[in-house]
Homo-oligomer: A and B are copies of this chain.
Amino acid sequence: MDAPAKPTRIQTQKRELILDAALDVFSTNGFRGSTIDQIADAAGMSKPNLLYYFKSKEDIHATLIQRLLETWLAPLHEIDDIGDPLTELKAYIRRKLEMARDYPRESRLFANEILQGAPRIMPLLEGELKSLVDEKALIIKGWMRDGKIAQTDPRHLIFSIWATTQHYADFDVQVRAVLGPDRGGDGRFDDAARFLEQLFLDGLRPKR
């Protein structure tokens, strides 16, 4: 009957250590570009030892992806039609930007997966993600009908928020290179936050 056999303290610790190292490696090299040896090195253990905790490279990656998705969609879940629409959207943009700042590795892991055609999470995109977006698009559409925000395509609005915020994680090296060492430092996320708020609220047309 093979009971699950609850994990020892060492097991949970080491598994966590491996997952953190693997996130480093996978997020910068992609799945195929990463080797078990690299991950084992980064985790400070031998390859067979790593394979004692995870039965394959796929297994590590799958665990990582699954965990990622839970936290990744949380900000979108939080959108509801209770508060003020513009405040709600501003808060969503801010949360997404904070995630790009605080969890850039997760963002890049996700980007790598999508770039390569999402072979491992396609069903999830068409299922859970699509219905979540559909649901939030309806809320946004309601705001538009009530004249609370401008009339536009709610789905492309969501895309544009994803794109602009995740850009600071996924294209980090480019952003840093262009801004130079001065503003490539810590201030760039504050600058981005200010800019995005203005863009999404009022656009570029000058006031008159």
Contacts and interface: CB of A to CB of B under 8 A. Distances in A.
Interface of A: 28-33, 86, 89, 108, 111-112, 114-118, 122, 125-126, 129-130, 133, 147-150, 152-153, 155-157, 159-160, 162-164, 166-168, 170-171, 173-175, 177-180, 191-192, 194-196, 198-207
A76 B158 CA distance: 25
Copies assembled:
2
- Chain A binding site: helix, strand, loop or mixed by DSSP? helix
A122 B180 CA distance: 12
B205 A202 contact: yes
A199 B115 contact: no
Contacts of A125: 173-174, 177-178
Given A150-B204, A177-B129, A178-B125, A114 B171 contact: yes
A138 B117 CA distance: 38
A204 to B, nearest CB: 5
A45 to B, nearest CB: 23
B32 A30 contact: yes
Contacts of A118: 173-174, 177
Nearest to A192: B156
Contacts of A160: 164, 167, 195-196, 199
A200 B201 contact: no
A129 B180 CA distance: 11
A64 to B, nearest CB: 16
B153 A195 contact: yes
Contacts of A115: 28, 30, 108, 111-112, 115, 170-171
A28 B117 contact: yes
